[in-house]
A and B are shown apart, each in its own frame.
Chain A
Amino acid sequence: MAQATFEEISASDFFYRNRDIAGFTNPSRAIFAAIRELVENSLDATESQKIPPDIYVRLSFEGEASKDTQIYKLRVEDNGSGIQPRFIPSAFGQVLYGSKYKLKQTRGTFGLGGKMAVLYGQIMTHQPAYVTSSTGLAKVYSFKLMIDIQRNRPVILERKVLINKEQWRGTIVEFTLEGDYLRAKSKILEYFKQTAMVNPYANLTFVDPKGRLYKFTRVTTDMPDPPKETEPHPYGVDVELLQRLIQVTPYRNMSEFLKQHFHRVGDITAQKFLEFSGLSPSKNPKRLSHEEVVRLMQNLKKFKEFLPPDASCLSPLGEGLLKAGIMKELKPEYLVVNQRKPSTYAGHPFIIEMGIAYGGEIPRKGGFIIYRFANKIPLLYDEASDVSFRVINSMNWRRYKVSPDMPIAIVVHICSTKVPYKTVGKEFISDRPEVRREVANALREIARQLHRFLSKREHVDREKRRLSIFAKYLPKIAQFSSSLAGKEKLPDVKKLIKSVQKYEKEA
């Protein structure tokens, strides 16, 4: 009888085996995911320093791989914060590097950033990745790396140190990967366009394998404040997180433990909570039994007196920037945006921002065009499953005199320390009542304003038409009646036309 063997696998190995989860499902999706991961890394790196991003992406053809796929070299340059040299190998050569005991609004969908992209490239082409970075100080560091998949360790093949004569700051990543650009092209271009829409302060440049240049230019250098790190809110913790906190905490009593590791817990709240859960304030958290930890977690969720999470850690776009971005990419005739007040779901703060754009260069598609964003990244797949899609489609649009065959685009942006994605695919937002309510409220507000705009315009149009009818026919009546009556002089109808003019300025 054969004996079953169990072996431990590394995180790299795990993702190698389950690359579907991270979005590297097929050759066209993989190339899209690689670009997206690196661009989002770059955006985060620039935004954290409030530097208006300049991101350059080049995808070049290296050779045929199979019947449907090709080998490409992907190069992404940014002007972000740069990475300190000692972190570079781990940042790109070790999956799940870094510890997360704090929460922060970030773009990265999986926290894998470029690592997964590099890993995928290595798997498919067996080529090393090149990472060059500088924090703007005296030196530029350049690494040639591979990942030891089984041990989940970076392997440094080459390390160069250069003098940073031009005081350059930023990061350049270059590696080869296999993919299908032709099929990915439309999604990639859509991705850039939509990214430009919610990052109106960014310059994005993309050169595709055919040498075509796509440029998205910034319209402002105003940037939102970078997101701040925050402690987890008591409502949002699970046993796993609690246990990890207990392991790393330097605090030796429950009162300090609660105050230091949780969001919006002060002396009084901590005291009340400990009374509520029957724990001694002086108890050492490391001495809690497993059952006590579970009970603690349950009580954290039950206790009603925690203050709601504070949204100051969030970095929404703001109405001004959202407006600028939509204006720049969609060029509508009319645009209104609305930012909701912060709200929470399950202990996580979130903010909904929405915009509705009408006319101009927006095409008529026979239905609303919906642009969805989460933490400033576009969501391009599974639109019909998204909560906003449902809210938009269940709205009684007739009340707002809006019909789906009008040229209308609706933009939804949710930002949160934890975006409520429904599935591991992380392409759509789940239908949580708190989120649904905020989306619906924002939508109603912008729909009301669109309605106001449409009815005012219709009114002005009707008035213009009315006036033009009088202006057209009264002179004719004058002409025909004069000739019929045999009169030389035409009667003056200007006064009559003026008398039917209701709105002096608009007409």
Chain B
Amino acid sequence: MRKKLKSSVAEKKNEVLGSLKSLGTNVYDQLDSGYFPSISMPSRSTENINYDPHLRQFILGDKSVRRSARNIRHVKPFTQLVWAARFSHELASQRKTSTLRDVYYSAQAYAMTFKDQQESNNIITDLETVLGFSREDFNIFPEERSAVFGDLTIEYTVPGYEGRTLNLTSHPDGVLIGPALTSSEFVSTTANKVIAIEKGGLFTRFIEENVHKKFNAVLVLTAGQAPRATRHFIRRLHKEMDLPVYIFTDGDPWGMHIAMVIISGSANAAHLRELNTPDAKWSGVWATDIINYKLPTDPLDDVDIKRLYELQRDPRYKEDPLWQKEIKTFLKIKRKAEQEAFSRYGLTYIVDEYLPTKLEENT
């Protein structure tokens, strides 16, 4: 049993509410003094997104943009931004959650129609940029959900569940990484590592095969590209519970990049911090595994190859020689393999043979 580490969940809530309110006060005061209100925020244009080797993630540069209600092209998005802040404040203070889709529809109640979902998503990203918090902090979650399973005890902070605890082995399908779990405090764990898995089938197989027990692991299903809440969750497991993180994905450029985003974050979230886990390891499936384990493969198609060349130039892939080596191997063998490919050696081979070897290799 590990000692309970008090996280910043409650503290952060207040911080978020405060910053939303001060945005409102700022705009209000400008209007009240007879000025067109304006708001400055860091620019999210491509030229202002830089890779920070120290933080090992993308960050925004010094360029900033100013949204002014005096500008005919800005006045609508400006209003939407203030509305989004007000909506988020209401959500957060009532401890309710919402989805991006929900935001899109809620706006219509205020005759604030968004042109499409993309426009409303952009406004939420603006709000993140202005305040430096991620949308999950405003209780706005994306639709896609991922799951976690393993010996981790958490304590809820959501209304109606405050103080209640749950052990994350209690449901064999895993527990959804939703708003309630994201906002809960970590109490204790016996695990000594986190294994993140790209696909649901393998996640279920690992639970069935007692991987969490055999390897003392908390299993996280990323369900494709990991949602931000999940990335933040993995980071907290690493930081607060001191657990090393291993990532298993398909053996192709896309799987490789799922691992990379968990490790170094995405350019889209350059305005945010604390979503990545720089010390996490990509444990497979590597291009070299395809050769070593003689896995059944598919040929790489044109988009795969194009993607590999893109990744080759990406600063995040220059950190560790492993990446460049694997990219080169992919390009050489021109084949890819899915995690399920290990089934050719029997259902338990991946757990009994492959996993121990790979975990060994990484440590």
Contact = CB atoms under 8 A, between A and B. Distances in A.
Partners in one complex: yes
Interface of A: 466, 469-470, 473-474, 476-478, 480-487, 491, 493, 495-496, 500
B interface: dominant SS: helix
A469 B74 CA distance: 10
A442 B125 CA distance: 57
Interface stretch (B4-12, B24-32, B165-173): B24-32
A28 B39 CA distance: 74
Given A476-B79, A480-B82, A487 B72 contact: no
How many of chain B's residues touch chain A, expressed as a range? 20 to 34
Contact of B79 (A480, A484, A487): A480
B36 A480 contact: no
Contact of B24 (A476, A480, A493, A500): A480
A58 B242 CA distance: 103
Interface in B89-147: 89, 110-112
Interface of B: 20-21, 23-25, 27-28, 31-32, 34, 36-37, 69-70, 72, 75-76, 78-79, 82-83, 85-86, 89, 110-112
Contacts, number: 76
Contact of B72 (A470, A484, A491, A495): A470
Contact of A477 (B25, B69, B72): B69
A interface: dominant SS: helix
A481 B75 contact: no
B23 A484 contact: yes
Contacts of B76: 469, 473
A484 B18 CA distance: 10
Contacts of A470: 72, 75
Contact of B110 (A476, A481, A484, A491): A476
B75 A484 contact: no
Given A477-B37, A491-B32, A484 B86 contact: yes
A484 B24 CA distance: 5
In the complex, the 8 A-B pairs of residues with the closest C-beta atoms, listed nearest first? A484-B24, A491-B31, A481-B27, A485-B24, A485-B25, A491-B32, A485-B28, A473-B79
User: Of residues B23, B82, B111, which shows the largest number of chain A Cβ atoms within 10 Å of its Cβ?
Assistant: B82
A469 B69 CA distance: 11
B27 A477 contact: yes
B130 to A, nearest CB: 13
B34 A496 contact: yes
A493 B76 CA distance: 15
A214 to B, nearest CB: 49
A130 B110 CA distance: 78
B29 to A, nearest CB: 8
Contacts of B25: 481, 484-485
A473 B78 contact: yes
Given A477-B69, A484-B28, A493-B31, 14 more contacts: A473-B78, A474-B75, A476-B110, A477-B31, A477-B75, A480-B24, A483-B24, A484-B20, A484-B25, A484-B82, A486-B21, A486-B24, A491-B28, A496-B31
A480 B75 contact: no
